[in-house]
Structure 1
Amino acid sequence: MNPTGLLEVTAVRRVTPRTVRVTFTGDGLGELEPWPDQQLKLLFPPPGRPVRLPSAGDDVLRWYQAYLAIPAGERPVMRSYTVRGRDPGRAAIDVDFVLHGSTAGPATAWARTAAPGDVLGRYGPDPAYRRPLSAADVLLCAGDETAIPAIATILSEVDSAVVFVEVADAAEEQPLPGEVHWLHRNGAEHGRKLVEAVRDAKLPGGSVAAWLAGEAGVVRTLRRHLVGDRGLAENAVEFTGYWRRSLTQDDAPTAEDLADAAEKGGG
């Protein structure tokens, strides 16, 4: 499958008060092989302009260089998302957008008004970034609402999982397979209840691995607890900071972001 192309919106629906599910169709999606935690880059065009795709081929470094070469006024905004579901027969995928507050960025602003016929660009999903699930006896999954799409796909593939998901309130819960511990912020600081729940969790016997995603600082705290306090091996903890408090993907990485990236890459 060509990792770059256009996506056209075919349907939009609210799955919770703060989550919009958008169905896209596009060339090559019918041949898309599924795997858990399948990520792609979405390209949002500047207001009033069609989306402009980089002209490079399927090599990610050349593609990104071509993306940066697009003039700033025409360059689409790029954000990372996870495939929530797929329909090979219709060459379609679903992507969930969490609608953030009044300080929403370009992706949330787009999702608020998305309608059939709208067009975005994409890079991926790219099999080069596929990561195998752990073979441990138990997988601990922990994240916020941005992690729900990935957790849903992971739970469809594992036999034994302990799952904690922090969301704004009870209305943000979504149907997920297995036993899920839902944590409601109800105005509390983002991530506090998730960290407390994981620290207090009684895990089953046998080997344990972890999958963590959500706000980068919260993910970092959870990972330090699991490795430093619970003694999990560093390579037994898969972690991704999907977003950063007070920062966007356009902002420069912090020192901790760079350290995380080096460790994930084996550096």
Structure 2
Amino acid sequence: MGHAMPVSHVRVTGTERITPRTARVTFTGDALPRLMEDRPDQQMKLCLPREGRSLEEGLLPEQDAEDAYGMRWYEAFLAIPEPVRPWMRGFTVRSYDRAHNVMAVDFVLHGDGGPASRWGAAARPGDVLGMVGPSSLYARPLPTTSAGMLLAGDEAALPAIATVLEALPAGTRALVYAEVADAAEERELPTAAGGTEVRWVHRDRGGSLVAAVREAGADLDGVGAAWVAGEASAVRALRRHLVGERQLPRSAVEFSGYWRRALTQDDAPTEEDLAWAAERAADSG
């Protein structure tokens, strides 16, 4: 695996609106064949230009082979003057076609005017972005269970949920709880080897992921492990419910807080973020 935190450039090859609020953008890049792994939930960061659709050549700092976790690279990135420093946002690889060297990434178009929504809505073939990762350093194994697996998340988590469904061992039954804006945002999800049942939760009808899972009752009987991702406070609440009330072993609940409702990834970590990191560390200890 060369560098632990590789930095590369990717170029748009196509865009498709898969739901009214989701743009699937396909990319190619010289580094993709060595960076892409055959595993679910490959997370990376894309560097989005402040103005326009393509990142300026030479704007991103060079890599240092000794900089395993990318800390020195990140310091150099932060030293780029703010008016031109790209926005950096986290994404999950939806798929990678090795034969054609094409990576697909889904952009949720929140309508909030955020940089990722803006860029995803305007992306055109030929646009160039920077990419940091993905890295096997951050790969986390799927929880294993002979019983059913609960997958819960919001729009930001759907690409990862799809890759997890595709990777579940033969015979694993999957139950998906997915929170989306409205019925138009529902989409086909892959079928796990043992079958997949999907419960869509619609925000426009007052639904919330946390409430839906808490009120699931007997629907969750037979679930032996869980994979939860999405907005950080919702993920924490679900994890507490699954470990506390549902009595799932901590080791059987894998979780990831992709985004914070109140803050962007450009902001410094809050006390809540630090508490979240400590909770993760305690779990893996």
1:195 aligns with 210
2:40 aligns with 36
Structure 1: how far apart are the matches of 2:61 and 2:122? 25
1:262 partner letter: A
| Contact preservation (8 Å) 1:217, 1:244 | yes
249-258 vs 21-30, which deviates more? 249-258
2:162 aligns with 152
Choose the corresponding residue for 2:176, options 147, 151, 163: 163
Output the TM-score relative to the length of structure 2: 0.86
1:17 aligns with 20
Whether 1:50 aligns to 2:56 is yes
SS at match of 1:143: strand
| Contact preservation (8 Å) 2:22, 2:108 | yes
Choose the corresponding residue for 1:235, options 244, 251, 254: 251
Aligned length: 262
1:5 partner letter: S
SS at match of 2:99: helix
* CA positional deviation for 1:63: 2.1
Percent identity for Structure 1 against Structure 2: 56
RMSD (Å), alpha carbons:
1.8
Structure 2: how far apart are the matches of 1:160 and 1:134? 13
Structure 2: how far apart are the matches of 1:70 and 1:220? 34
| Contact preservation (8 Å) 1:5, 1:53 | no
Q: Write out aligned runs for 1:182-221 (5 A).
A: 182-188=200-206, 192-201=207-216, 202=218, 203-205=220-222, 208-221=224-237
1:156 partner letter: E
| Contact preservation (8 Å) 1:30, 1:89 | no
220-229 vs 9-18, which deviates more? 220-229
1:61 aligns with 71
1:121 aligns with 130
2:60 partner letter: L
Whether 1:107 aligns to 2:120 is no
Q: Write out aligned runs for 1:130-141 (5 A).
A: 130-137=139-146, 138-141=148-151
Output the TM-score relative to the length of structure 1: 0.91
* CA positional deviation for 1:38: 0.7
1:91 aligns with 101
Structure 1 unpaired stretches of 5+: none
* CA positional deviation for 1:215: 1.3
| Contact preservation (8 Å) 1:210, 1:238 | yes
Structure 2: how far apart are the matches of 1:265 and 1:120? 32
110-119 vs 53-62, which deviates more? 53-62
* CA positional deviation for 1:187: 4.8
